[in-house]
Amino acid sequence: MNKVLENKNKRFWAIFWSIIWLLAFSMLILRLFIFQQVNVVGQSMEPNYKENQMLVINRKDTNLKRGQVVAFYETKKMSEDSTFLTKTFPNLSSQNKFFLKRIIGLPGESIQIVGDNLIIYNENNPNGAVINEDYLSNSVKEEMKLGCASYSNGFTSYFAKTKIPDNHYFLMGDNRCHSLDSTDPSHGPFPKESFFGQEEFRYWPLLKIKVFELPNYKFSEPSDEVKNIISNKIKQIQQ
């Protein structure tokens, strides 16, 4: 009887440790080849992302959609020079520097900004449609209306219609007037090759744990006021 119990115990612990080692091995594979930690630095994504928050990035998911928050290399050269080692352990290289922004425009689309109205031109909206961005705070929208007078990042209350090249994405920070992004002439749309990965979830601080969800965008026709501003801007350029 005792021997039977002893054999059962041995089998139980053998199965238990097999499961533990399998889970540990699976976690290691996921960490090395798919997931990566990225820290939030700066204020460009406030109020939705704060300094020193920690995110888990999926490096293998290439299905990029509007509204997705992505981490990307500061320059295309950094991306080209990256290796498996530096991608797995980014802190090993002092040359690695990532930005965290949100995908606003997709390849082949055109973007135009009038105050706090962001207009998308694509096949479904050839005449342009204003995109509703619920994640922007009221203070951010007010700053945009004033042309970001409190901060100089190349963005004013009017951003001319800009075509996004193939394989490129128009990226913007949620804190529009305090973000160096695609609205800056020195950056423009970013190539897909420069992307490091896209957010899966925020895991730090623990009280702010949150799985990433794509925004539910709605589109509407630009107001007459916005149309008049665009018309006047075009006339000024043509003169």
Q: For 147, left (φ over 0), alpha (ψ -120 to 50), or beta?
A: left
**Token pair listed for 89:** 């352990």
Instruction: Please give the average pLDDT of every successive group of 10 residues along the chain, which has 239 residues.
Output: 64 72 61 70 91 87 90 64 51 61 97 93 95 93 77 63 95 92 89 88 87 93 88 75
Question: What letter represents residue 139's amino acid?
Answer: S
Do residues 48 and 66 touch, judged by C-beta distance below 8 A?
no
Q: In angstroms, what CA-CA distances link 237 with 150, 160, 191, 219, 231?
A: 26, 10, 28, 27, 10
- Phi and psi, residue 10, nearest 5°: -65, -40
Neighbours of 20 (CB within 10 A): 10
Q: Say how far apart CA 12 and CA 96 lie, in whole Å.
A: 46
Neighbours of 189 (CB within 10 A): 21
Those residues whose C-beta lies under 8 Å from the C-beta of residue 6, and which sit 6 or more positions away, are none
Do residues 170 and 111 touch, judged by C-beta distance below 8 A?
yes
Three-state secondary structure call for residue 186: coil
Q: Say how far apart CA 230 and CA 183 lie, in whole Å.
A: 17
Q: Which of 31, 45, 49, 43 is nearest to 90 (CA)?
A: 31
